[in-house]
Amino acid sequence: MIGLAAPVDPISLPSDLLSGWGRFPRVPGRERSSERLDHATLDVPLTRGLGRAYGDAALPAGGDIRIAGSGRANRLLAFDAETGELTAEAGLTLDELIRIFLPRGFFSPVSPGTRFVTLGGMVAADVHGKNHHAAGTIGRHVQALKLRVASGDVVMCSRATHPDLFRATVGGMGLTGHILEVTLRLERVASPWIVSESERVPNVRAFVEALRIASGNWPMTAGWIDCLSRQSAMGRGILFRGRWADPHEAPTPFAPLRAPVTVPFSLPGWALSSPIVKTFNFAHYRWHGAAVQRRVVTPARFLYPLDSVGEWNRLYGRRGFAQYQCVLPEAQGHDAVTRFFDVLTGRGGASFLCVIKDCGEEGEGLLSFPKKGISVALDIPMRDTTASLVDALNEVVIREGGRIYLAKDALTRPEHFRAMEPRLDDFLRVRRQWDPEGRIRSAQSVRLFGW
């Protein structure tokens, strides 16, 4: 395509409001997206992928309006069918990666709960998935990264070259530079199907134990929790475990990904109010039945059940919602999770969706989220009390020696984050070294680190 004179001067236009997936906060911002990410990232403070971070991680800081968007930079640059090593531009989505490589017997080694994320975003958040106990975070499978650092230079980093920059970038929320290209090793899978089992679990203590047992035999595990159940049933829910099906178990050779059905408009604020969620949760739990259910399902159904509903964030109404995810270390035992749920349910925390997952060892990223223990993720509708609920949960997490996940966060106080994160100074030192003037920043980095 030939000589593209800038169609309009973007500065002269009123800026749009940008928000993360939780639709809170909304800040002035304008995304500049181009097939040429190396051009789009010049002189902007941040790159945003598909905007699936829930809070303010992919939003411009106050005063910064323009940020780069990576979604159009989505070329495959190299692929080795022997080793599964793929190099692609950072805007390639997991959805497209699966469409291209699953028919050839490869899958992303790690996958978050949605396939509508970019490779760059996956690395920046150092995402984990249902196989964290077995496969770690995505960072473990990344071989090399190409970054545009604050000086404007383009730098390759890996475990051998600029290892400090590599470790700070994996899980570094895009704050060390603009991720331009990612090289990672895909996982070879036996079939494009997953054998899944699900089972009811009566309470939170049993859940922690059930996850521990399942993780010994299954590469993928996670659980859904009914947050509104109380007393002896507190934290009851359904445990899911899965593994890639062997070819002889697979029903047909291939099932293509289906396009989502989209929520057409924002629902009113009461749509996910406590009585409605309570009814839904009760029905969901009962409907499952007492027996173990075993099925062979598509990866989309097992790994991305929410992706079947497009724009599901509209379910939470115009005010949006906060997602909260923390990990409570294993050393604190089962009781840590019980204490966390005591505080949550004590405050009437109506979370439509609550997911529990046991994590394996901490990754190498300096701000990588997971560590050995139990992770809990909640959706909390945005109300006047939401910030104080997050404060209360954060105080529990600090007491237990846990931490929160930046890709979800919009409300954590800086002093709380610092108390959770002994590695923060190491991260900020590397960030400062590559960006002495603090050019690369996000709304979240300014909120939590001051720059």
- Based on the shown chain and the rule CB under 8 A, indicate whether residue 426 belongs to the binding site for other proteins: no
Q: Which is nearer to other proteins, 83 or 388 (CB)?
A: 83
Single-letter amino acid code for the residue at 292: V
Is residue 7 at the binding interface for other proteins, with CB under 8 A as the rule? yes
Q: How many residues at the interface with other proteins, by CB under 8 A?
A: 23
Please report whether residue 274 would count as binding other proteins according to CB under 8 A.
no
Q: CB within 8 A of 209, min separation 6: which ones? A: 334
Choose between 31 and 364: whose C-beta lies nearer to other proteins: 31
Tell me how far, at minimum, the Cβ of 403 lies from other proteins, in Å: 38
34 to 73, contacts with other proteins by CB under 8 A?
34-36, 72
The residue from 5, 259, 290, 291 that contacts other proteins (CB under 8 A) is 5
How far apart are alpha carbons 46 and 49 in whole angstroms?
10
154 contributes a contact to other proteins by CB under 8 A: no
Distances in Å between the alpha carbon of 421 and those of 177, 214, 366, 375? 21, 29, 10, 16
- Strand, helix or coil at 377? strand
Residue 72 or 212 having the CB closest to other proteins = 72
Among 26, 28, 33, 185, binds other proteins (CB under 8 A): 33
Closer to other proteins by Cβ: residue 31 or 409: 31
Among 24, 29, 32, 282, binds other proteins (CB under 8 A): 32
Give the integer Cα–Cα distance in Å for 413 and 406.
12
Per-residue binding string, other proteins, 8-27, x by CB under 8 A, is xxx--x--------------
The answer to the question of residue 3 lying near other proteins (CB under 8 A) is: yes
| Helices 333-346 & 204-217 angle (0-180, nearest 10) | 130
Q: Which helix (H) or strand (E) holds 80?
A: strand 76-80
Beta strands in 192-337 (DSSP E): 194-201, 220-225, 237-244, 261-262, 293-297, 309-310, 321-329
**Residue 400 and residue 212: Cα distance in Å, rounded?**
19
Judge contact between 194 and 204, C-beta under 8 A.
no
Q: Report the distance separating Cα 255 and Cα 253, nearest Å.
A: 7
Interface pick for other proteins out of 26, 79, 266, 419 (rule CB under 8 A):
79
Member of 26, 28, 76, 296 binding other proteins (CB under 8 A): 76
Among 24, 83, 100, 367, binds other proteins (CB under 8 A): 100
Residue 78 interacts with other proteins (CB under 8 A)? yes
Q: For other proteins, which is the closer residue by CB, 94 or 397?
A: 94
Q: Is 259 in the site for other proteins (CB under 8 A)?
A: no
- Kindly indicate which of the ranges 6-14, 57-65, 270-278, 284-292 contains the residues binding other proteins, using the contact rule CB under 8 A: 6-14
Q: Beta strand 261-262 with 309-310: parallel, antiparallel or unpaired?
A: parallel
Strands 187-188 and 261-262: unpaired
Long-range CB contacts (< 8 A, 24+ apart) of 384-388? 385/347, 386/322, 386/411, 387/411
Applying CB under 8 A, among 42, 77, 261, 306 the residue interacting with other proteins is 77
Does residue 2 interact with other proteins by CB under 8 A?
yes
Q: Which two tokens stand for residue 322?
A: 């906060």
Contact residues: other proteins, CB under 8 A:
1-10, 13, 32-36, 72, 75-79, 100
